Amino acid sequence: MPELRRAFWAISVWCRRTDELVDGPNATYTTPKDLERWEKRLNDIFEGRPCDVYDVALSDTASKYPIHIQPFKDMIEGMKLDLTKSRYENFDELYLYCYHVAGTVGLMSVPVIGIAPKSKASIESVYNAALALGIANQLTNILRDVGEE
């Protein structure tokens, strides 16, 4: 279990660092170019060229588990939306935003969690459930924020 915890920690740290680019104390200084550099750094991580100890943790996780880079890239796309858009015209737009910033976390997690060998669930249904959970969490966060404001 310690290896599993380390893998989740590595994914969580990367997600937190990515979110901090647009929601952290220096977010007002973040530009689309910064996010392009962050995506290049992500590519380096997945190609075994980490930049710092946090990158090393994710690179190690990527080498041990069949995680795919696409959900990580999709999350960066969500952060780009955060830089330019604050209102969504309809639920489809909001759903897409929620996919990018939270549904992706579910997709990142499934390869680490795995599927029980005796499970009758299809891989597709497991990924769909993980995606739905991430989107539901984001919608809940948005609703909580609306209540506070």
pLDDT of residue 147: 63
Q: In the chain, how many domains are there?
A: 1
Q: Residue 33: give its domain's CATH number.
A: 1.10.600.10
Gap between the Cα atoms of 82 and 18, Å rounded: 12
Model confidence at 142, pLDDT cuts 50, 70, 90, reads confident
Query: What's the predicted TM-score (pTM) here?
Result: 0.91
Determine the average pLDDT of the residues in 60-86.
94
Print the domain residue range for 93.
Answer: 2-148
Determine the average pLDDT of the residues in 72-88.
92
**Residues in CB range of 63: below 8 A, 6 or more apart:** 48
Model confidence at 149, pLDDT cuts 50, 70, 90, reads low
